[in-house]
Amino acid sequence: MGAFAIEVVGAAPVGRDRLAQPEVGALATLVARDLADFVPEAARLELVTVGAHYDPVELLRPGWPLHRELDELAARAPRGSHDVDAGRIIAFGANDSRLPGTLAPSADFLGGPLRLMPFVLTGPADVVARVGDAFEHELIERGMAAADTALAAQDAFGLQVEHARYLTVHDLAAMTSIQYEHAGLAPLWPLLETALLRPGQPAWLDQPPEPLLHYTDGEARIALFSPAAWHQRYDADTTAGSDEERARQQRRFQHFQARQRQMAAVLGAHGIPVQFVHCDHDTDCRAALS
């Protein structure tokens, strides 16, 4: 699983987020050629892609739903007498502006600086394993798209390309981790990474002054502290004797609540259900989230 990644110039407008079916083939052919240039055995595999671009949060979701949808749609595509070891291209486009299945990009995430055109390579298991391993080692270092591929994407989607390259989903996750660190969200990443790569395992964010979160059973549970419970856990050394100190304490609590909402929004954008669990001062909050 991977993506053709397009870094858009600044705040330049994007003409459209999807291509009509007759337009997809030319761009997909260039993508397939580029991938085979990196690892020649990729030419033996089936490239499945879509003429649309997405925000990273739409790809980085538990179960990889966009890639899974591509794989499932391709499995239903007629093959005729095609040699499964010879490689071919299946590229989905829009019909009357409608993409098949659940492939429509979300209007909520348009306008980001990095747009992604997902792809899946399928075929004989041994070839997929060798190509996948090579891509994991090669693409992050030398995965720049060819100039004509970048120009074709620019013309097709009506956007201005700063850089265009290829990434595996693990490369994309690593890049996103760095971006979240720069955005002050590093404490949340281990929980997100667990949801993406080890969804059956639990993960905690239990690092005051951060909110208390538990990822388990496919959802993120966030402790919704009462003011008294928050004070007991996060501000116990401070007494609110004066009006000025009470005002400062209230501002700290409001900042904490804003941090909770921020983390809940990020988790939701990655397709992780969020449940707020009330926690009062006499509650075992970790037990309540378990």
pLDDT digits (tens, 9 = 90+) for 219-256: 999 999 888 888 888 876 666 567 777 788 888 889 99
- Residue 215 lies in domain: 193-289
| Listed residue (270, 272, 232, 230) closest to 252, CA to CA | 230
* Residue 212, pLDDT score: 94
> What is the average per-residue pLDDT within 153-182?
94
State which of 127, 162, 182 marks the end of a domain. Answer: 182
In what helix (H) or strand (E) does residue 260 lie, and over which residues does it extend? helix 243-269
Q: Which of 69-78, 122-131, 238-247 has the lowest mean pLDDT?
A: 238-247
> What is the average per-residue pLDDT within 112-127?
93
Please indicate, yes or no, whether residues 140 and 67 belong to a single structural domain of this protein.
yes
pLDDT(121) > 60: yes
187 occurs within a structural domain: no
pLDDT(83) > 60: no
State which of 182, 211, 242 marks the end of a domain. Answer: 182
134 occurs within a structural domain: yes
Please indicate, yes or no, whether residues 157 and 22 belong to a single structural domain of this protein.
yes
pLDDT in tens, 40-66: 999 999 999 999 999 999 999 999 999
pLDDT band at 80 (very low <50, low <70, confident <90, very high): low
208 occurs within a structural domain: yes
152 occurs within a structural domain: yes
pLDDT band at 119 (very low <50, low <70, confident <90, very high): very high
Please indicate, yes or no, whether residues 208 and 123 belong to a single structural domain of this protein.
no
Percent of the chain having pLDDT more than 70? 94
Contact 131, 121 (CB under 8 A): yes
Please indicate, yes or no, whether residues 147 and 224 belong to a single structural domain of this protein.
no
pTM of the model: 0.89
Average pLDDT, rounded, for the chain? 90
Q: In what order do the strands lie in the sheet with 114-122?
A: 88-92, 46-50, 114-122, 2-8, 161-168
Return the axis-axis angle of helices 189-197 and 243-269, rounded to nearest 10°: 20
Number of domains in the chain: 2
188 occurs within a structural domain: no
CA dist., res. 276 & res. 289, Å (int): 9
* Residue 76, pLDDT score: 84
State which of 135, 151, 182 marks the end of a domain. Answer: 182
Please indicate, yes or no, whether residues 61 and 22 belong to a single structural domain of this protein.
yes
Please indicate, yes or no, whether residues 173 and 247 belong to a single structural domain of this protein.
no
CA dist., res. 137 & res. 158, Å (int): 32
Please indicate, yes or no, whether residues 279 and 253 belong to a single structural domain of this protein.
yes
* Residue 283, pLDDT score: 74
